[in-house]
Amino acid sequence: MINQFIMRLYIKLADFRITLLALVVTLPIMYVMLNMVDSEMVNSLHFAFTKASAEHVIEQWRIERFMLFKKFFWLDFIFPAGYGIIFSSLIARLSLRRVSRNNIYQTLFLIPLAATIFDYAENMGLIITLNNLNNLIESVVFITSVLSSFKMILFILSLLIILWLVLLKVLRR
């Protein structure tokens, strides 16, 4: 039953129109996030790991930058779905002919979706952190940083899988 669901999802994501739609939605959001929000400061907060580090990052933000971050934070709830669908769709599309030979390809497309789940969990930790600036919770800061780390590992792994599948496709020609 679960295997059938995964296979149906895999085939749906292999449709190039899904990738294209996700790109059209995600690219403008990525542009806004990269140009309107101080990415370096946001990443510093994501990987603070300790209350003292998080407090230091927050102290470094000027009020204008902090308010700008809060204003555009909602975009970070759309962006993970976008990159998750794009990466999963690309992996499914690039590995479509390989599924019958090796079932590992059937499950690789789930890695970007797992990154998306970790990203949403990370965002929830950031919301808790941002709503408790005067009284940061050490465990929330640490867990949020761990979630960010897992997300980044899965994100990079997804990119490597895509590059590997593209390389395999090029070498087969």
Q: Could you tell me the residue ranges of all domains in the chain? A: 2-172
Report the first-to-last Cα separation within the chain, whole angstroms.
Answer: 36
What predicted TM-score, i.e. pTM, was given to this entire model?
0.84
pLDDT of residue 22: 85
- Tokens describing residue 57: 């990052």
19-52, pLDDT tens digit by residue? 888 888 888 888 877 776 666 777 778 888 888 9
CB 117 within 8 A of CB 123: no
pLDDT of residue 159: 96
pLDDT of residue 102: 57
- Tokens describing residue 17: 């129109």
Measured distance CA(158)–CA(92) in Å, rounded: 12
- Tokens describing residue 8: 């149906």
CB 28 within 8 A of CB 112: no
Average pLDDT over the chain reads 84
Tell me what the mean pLDDT of segment 48-69 comes to. 81
- Look at 55-64, 88-97, 151-160 and tell me which has the smallest mean pLDDT: 55-64
Nearest to 61 by CA among 77, 44, 81, 83: 44
